[in-house]
Amino acid sequence: MADEREIGELTIGAMTLRRIVESEVPLLSPFEIFPDCEPGHLAANDPWLAPRFMDRTAQLLVIAIQSFLIRRGGLTILVDTCSGNDKDRKRPFFDHRDWPWLARLRAAGVAPEQVDIVLCSHLHVDHVGWNTRLENGRWVPTFPNARYLISRREWEYWKGSTAPNGVVRTGDYIADSVLPVFASGQAELVDDDHAFGSDLWLETTPGHTPGHLALHLADSRRQIILSGDLMHHPLQLRYPDWSTRFCADPGRARATRRDFLARHADTDHVIFPAHFPSPTGGFVERRGDHYGFRFDGETHGCTGDDR
């Protein structure tokens, strides 16, 4: 039987968790994503940043774009759906792509028809793409039998007039990747405290977007938390006040991240920040006025200043 780590599947209680990666490459300029980042910050952290977390030559941070597959007693749940194929996008990296993501999902033993629940941590372009696929010129739900769970608070924001005009910056992903699941009757709005059971529940983690959600998986001994975009890169453990240019409310995002890191530091909770490179999951460790991150299965923290 294959080693758990080899096939990338974790077991917790009656559930299994594995990642379905769409891409993991140097993608974003640290100066683009983090307004507070200056060249000195990169120089100070260069020994641990490159090459694992940053391409030094291109000056691009390595960003994973991935989904999380949870199987729980016959229920198949997909958390976030990456950026998708054939989408009309402003950023070339996302534009009219042909990712083998569905093949990777099938290789994990799941056909689209078998997905029961799609949970959107939030409604950003790199988290909703595979909600739909192109069929005869129309965007149709990729998962015909799934309920698509979306935070009520999140949807109120994106359907309202105060949301940023994503069309200019990204392409109209709400129209091609979110509205079709409402049109098909598959969208379901959930409240912040929604729980699937005592072993699987949502936590509201607002700031990056107003209705941003984290998902807790637990058994009697352990806890795993899919923390979505509460942090995007290990640099935010070194500099926990750094919010991103893409945060709807950077101040709120900072407060939520600070609170989350303080609560989980030096515990055995395994945190999976959506965009952290493989193996993604790990532990938050306190380092004086900031934090470090140690990937699960590794003996040393990745962020350089081990105690």
Q: Which is nearer to Zn ion, 199 or 227 (CB)?
A: 227
By the rule CB under 5 A, 126 interacts with Zn ion: yes
Q: With H, G, I as helix, E, B as strand and everything else as coil, classify residue 34.
A: coil
Q: Which amino acid is at 173?
A: Y
Q: Which is nearer to Zn ion, 158 or 199 (CB)?
A: 158
- Tell me how far apart the alpha carbons of residues 275 and 208 are, in angstroms, rounded to a whole number: 14
Q: Kindly state the smallest distance separating residue 124's Cβ from Zn ion, in Å.
A: 5
**Closest to 228 measured CA to CA, from 120, 303, 125:** 120
- Tell me how far apart the alpha carbons of residues 60 and 105 are, in angstroms, rounded to a whole number: 28
By the rule CB under 5 A, 80 interacts with Zn ion: no
Interactions with Zn ion, residue window 82-111 (CB under 5 A):
none
Q: Kindly state the smallest distance separating residue 307's Cβ from Zn ion, in Å.
A: 30
User: In the numeric block, which tokens belong to residue 174?
Assistant: 């709400």
Q: Kindly state the smallest distance separating residue 23's Cβ from Zn ion, in Å.
A: 12
Token pair 């009219």: residue: 96
Looking only at Cα atoms, what is the longest distance across the chain?
57
- Tell me how far apart the alpha carbons of residues 224 and 218 are, in angstroms, rounded to a whole number: 6
Segment interacting with Zn ion (CB under 5 A) among 41-49, 221-229, 254-262, 263-271 = 221-229
**Closest to 71 measured CA to CA, from 27, 105, 115:** 115
**Closest to 139 measured CA to CA, from 171, 104, 105:** 171
Q: Which is nearer to Zn ion, 190 or 231 (CB)?
A: 231
By the rule CB under 5 A, 176 interacts with Zn ion: no
Give bridge partners of residue 200 from the DSSP assignment.
197, 217
Q: Kindly state the smallest distance separating residue 92's Cβ from Zn ion, in Å.
A: 17
- Tell me how far apart the alpha carbons of residues 40 and 37 are, in angstroms, rounded to a whole number: 8
Q: Which is nearer to Zn ion, 28 or 284 (CB)?
A: 28
Q: Which is nearer to Zn ion, 28 or 117 (CB)?
A: 28
Give bridge partners of residue 140 from the DSSP assignment.
133
Q: Kindly state the smallest distance separating residue 61's Cβ from Zn ion, in Å.
A: 13
Residues 34, 229, 257, 277: which binds Zn ion (CB under 5 A)? 229
Task: Give phi and psi for 109, each to the nearest 5.
Answer: 95, 15
Q: Are 132 and 180 within 8 A, CB to CB?
A: yes
Segment interacting with Zn ion (CB under 5 A) among 14-22, 121-129, 153-161, 185-193 = 121-129
Q: Which is nearer to Zn ion, 12 or 54 (CB)?
A: 54
Segment interacting with Zn ion (CB under 5 A) among 112-120, 173-181, 208-216, 222-230 = 222-230
Give bridge partners of residue 148 from the DSSP assignment.
118, 187
Give how many residues touch Zn ion by CB under 5 A. Answer: 2
Segment interacting with Zn ion (CB under 5 A) among 100-108, 140-148, 185-193, 227-235 = 227-235
Task: Compute the C-alpha angle 194/185/120, nearest 5°.
Answer: 40
Segment interacting with Zn ion (CB under 5 A) among 72-80, 123-131, 193-201, 215-223 = 123-131
Q: Kindly state the smallest distance separating residue 275's Cβ from Zn ion, in Å.
A: 6
Q: Kindly state the smallest distance separating residue 98's Cβ from Zn ion, in Å.
A: 21
User: In the numeric block, which tokens belong to residue 62?
Assistant: 């390595």
Segment interacting with Zn ion (CB under 5 A) among 38-46, 170-178, 225-233, 297-305 = 225-233
Positions touching Zn ion (CB under 5 A) are 126, 229
